[in-house]
């Protein structure tokens, strides 16, 4: 159980690094979101940081549970954290259909790592923020040290 908490803690730190806190709900390319980019069908109009943190962690725990059923091999906490941060951003449906997850399931972690770089587009356009996010998620997945300025 402690390993899951460690994974969620690491994933939450990654998510908060890239998702700006927004106290009021907003619409983005994936629908309604609130807090730290948590997507919901009908989010509250306003949320506190504490509520947003709790909501984000619940979503990460749900993602972990769902993806754990798909991934039978053992991953290190930092690998799970990177995958959860990525899946939180791209959505579980996209994650489940991805080559990245397929390679993880096949134990081809080097190939899986390379796939992070492909998830940098929104509506066919490369997004600099996603390029940076994926580079850091890939580095975390690979176990490389990531500094706060990266």
Task: Indicate which residues carry an active-site annotation.
Answer: 19
Q: Determine how many CB atoms are found less than 10 A away from the CB of residue 106.
A: 11
Under 8 Å between Cβ of 108 and 119: no
The strand pair at 121-122 and 125-126 is best described as antiparallel
Under 8 Å between Cβ of 102 and 81: no
Distinct helix (H) and strand (E) counts, the chain: 7, 5
């Amino acid at each position: 159980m402690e390993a899951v908490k460690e994974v969620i803690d690491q994933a939450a730190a990654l998510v908060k690094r890239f998702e700006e806190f927004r106290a009021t709900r907003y619409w983005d390319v994936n629908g309604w979101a609130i807090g730290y980019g948590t997507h919901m069908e009908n989010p509250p109009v306003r949320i506190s940081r504490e509520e947003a943190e709790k909501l984000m962690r619940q979503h990460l725990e749900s993602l972990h549970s769902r993806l754990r059923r798909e991934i039978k091999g053992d991953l290190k906490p930092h690998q799970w954290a990177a995958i959860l941060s990525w899946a939180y951003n791209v959505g579980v449906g996209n994650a489940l259909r991805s080559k990245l997850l397929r390679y993880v399931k096949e134990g081809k972690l080097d190939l899986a790592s390379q796939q992070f770089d492909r998830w940098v587009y929104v509506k066919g356009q490369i997004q600099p923020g996603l390029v940076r996010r994926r580079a850091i998620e890939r580095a975390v997945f690979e176990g490389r040290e990531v500094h706060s300025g990266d």
